[in-house]
Amino acid sequence: MSAPLPSDPATDPSFSDLLETRPTLTMDVRDGLLFEGVPLHVIAAAVGTPCWITGAKTLRRRARALKMAFEARDLPVSMHFAMKSQDHQATLTLLRQCGYGVDIVSGGEMQRALHAGISPSGIVFSGVGKSDAELRAAIEHDIAQINVESVEELYRLDEIARACGRVARAALRVNPDVDADTHDKISTGRAGDKFGIEYRRAVTLYGEAASLKNVRLVGLAVHLGSQMLTAEPFRKGYARLADMVREIRAAGHTVEAVDCGGGLGIRYRDEIAPSPDMLAGVIAETLGDLNVRLSIEPGRWLSAPTGILLSRVIETKAGSPESGPNFVVIDAAMNDLARPSLYESWHGILPVAPTALHAPTKLWDIVGPVCESSDIFARDRALPATIKRGDLTVLLDTGAYGSVMSSTYNSRPFAAQVLVDNGKWDIIRQRQSVAELIASETVPDWLTASRNNNG
């Protein structure tokens, strides 16, 4: 069982540290915490809690900053947002307006992307297990590129494309065997990970694939891991990729495109987050002179800081005087935000009330109501000593791998979602009702018929 990283009150960022590094959150003496200028207590009163909130202005600003880092180096790179991190129609629409395509990992994501108006020419399909139906749909929509993860998948893609009477554009996703130096569960580019084709095999396979009639290999793809904080693993991974491109070309084949994947990390606690300029620099240095079409697939870096999870305190529970922790039970839980229980991740937590920022604090364990010991958001976290039932809190940086990972465990319906945009706000997903949860369930007649009927 995993539990969230214990907070360390000595080194945890203070409330003002958290605010200073997140300029979209401000404290108003009357209204308390504002997100992009909207008082959070207003949203809580109108929509209820728990509630996911996405900042449109923040997302737009990050999308532009990332593009500009590459433009500043005259390095044309196409952007495919990894929509598994945040797949709401409003998010996709906004990123489409900023000139982004998407990286998808399922047929469902393809439907979502098309529904948001993203052109098939802006869609790249990654993922270690694409079904026949998913590959067929991708071929029929003529999406930009399918990143093939194994020899077997390459030949299956060729067969399916033949049956469709089409030629599929594909890239080989290679496993460069580089340790991303991140959490074990989000590392993807090591030799033992399930992703990609090993280096040697990829070079020979590239040659073999030239004889396939219904697949056209356009290049190579890589994705090293997630929440990467230093340049080194990127540099190593991309340098190996560049070596492969040269080797494949030396063997007489054409490599037109290199897809550099995602993985750029952000600051959750006190990490030194890499800048988009670091990524642009490393890509320019390692792949810039290869004369290939370059693309990246950022997820977390774009979406994580654009989201917060607003919740209300249900109860506080005082620990025993000798030892026991003090608990704050909030109405958000691991079924809403799974990351702390899944990855031991640290998320900033701020009180919303105007006076709370300067109130004396004590250490609390922040937990949800779900009946699992791992339903803990933080241990030993400094929050106002007087925090009480009914108070509002926000979990920070929940825009990536947040709402998309929610479940309805404990019959807790999906939470509402709100979009704020520089003072404006709107509900973008209604809170699910329990009736909706039950609606698709049926009980067979024979179960309720008299027992005699079944002998």
Q: Supply the minimum distance, in Å, between the C-beta of residue 366 and ligand PLP.
A: 25
In the bound state with ligand PLP, the residue whose beta carbon lies nearer, of 129 and 319, is 129
Which of these, 114, 128, 170, lies nearest to 145 by C-alpha position? 170
Residues 6+ apart with CB under 8 A from 265: 182, 226, 227, 228, 229, 271, 273, 274, 300, 301
Indicate the residue among 31 and 232 with the shorter CB distance to ligand PLP. 232
Q: CA-to-CA distance for 416 and 428, rounded, in angstroms? A: 8
Has 299 been labeled as part of a binding site? yes
Using rule CB under 6 A, residue 103 touches ligand PLP: yes
How many CB atoms neighbour CB 106 within 10 A?
18
Q: Calculate ∠ Cα 199-200-201, nearest 5°.
A: 95
- Residues in contact with 176: Cβ distance below 8 Å, sequence separation at least 6, in sequence order: 189, 196, 199, 222, 224, 236, 237, 240, 241
Contact 432, 414 (CB under 8 A): yes
Least distance (Å) between residue 106 CB and ligand PLP: 11
Record the tokens describing residue 110, joined without a space.
């393809």
Write down the least CB distance from residue 428 to ligand PLP, Å: 21
Q: At what angle do helices 56-71 and 276-287 cross, to 10 degrees?
A: 30
Applying CB under 6 A, what is the total number of residues that bind ligand PLP? 18
At 283 the three-state DSSP class reads helix
What lies within 8 Å, CB to CB, of 187 at 6+ separation is 179, 180, 193, 224, 225, 226
Choice among 51, 164, 260, 371 that is catalytic: 371
- 136 annotated as belonging to a binding site for a ligand: no
**Three-state DSSP class for residue 428:** strand
Please report whether residue 82 would count as binding ligand PLP according to CB under 6 A. Answer: yes
What is d(CA 329, CA 367) in angstroms, rounded to the nearest whole number? Answer: 5
- Clarify whether 371 is annotated catalytic: yes
Q: Is the dihedral angle over the CA atoms 197, 199, 205, 209 positive or is it negative?
A: positive
Q: Does 84 bind ligand PLP (CB under 6 A)?
A: yes
Complex with ligand PLP: residue 103 or 375, whichever CB lies closer? 103
| Residues 295-314 within binding reach of ligand PLP (CB under 6 A) | 297-301
343 appears as a binding residue in the annotation: yes
From 81-89, 92-100, 209-217, 312-320, give the range in contact with ligand PLP by CB under 6 A.
81-89
152 labelled binding-site residue: no
State yes or no: residue 399 binds ligand PLP (CB under 6 A).
Answer: no
Chosen residue from 78, 85, 306, 311 binding ligand PLP by CB under 6 A: 85
Q: Taking CB under 6 A as the rule, which mask of x and - marks residues 237-276 in contact with ligand PLP?
A: ------------------------xxxx------------
Rule CB under 6 A: choose which of 78, 126, 295, 345 binds ligand PLP: 126
Q: Is residue 199 annotated as involved in ligand binding?
A: no
Determine the interface stretch with ligand PLP among 34-42, 82-90, 197-205, 409-417 (rule: CB under 6 A): 82-90
The two three-digit tokens of residue 214, written as one number: 């219904």
The residues assigned a catalytic role are: 371
Residues forming contacts to ligand PLP in the complex (CB under 6 A) are 82, 84-85, 103, 105, 126, 223, 226, 261-264, 297-301, 400
Binding residues for substrate are 300, 339, 343, 372, 401
Binding residues are 263, 297-300, 339, 343, 372, 401
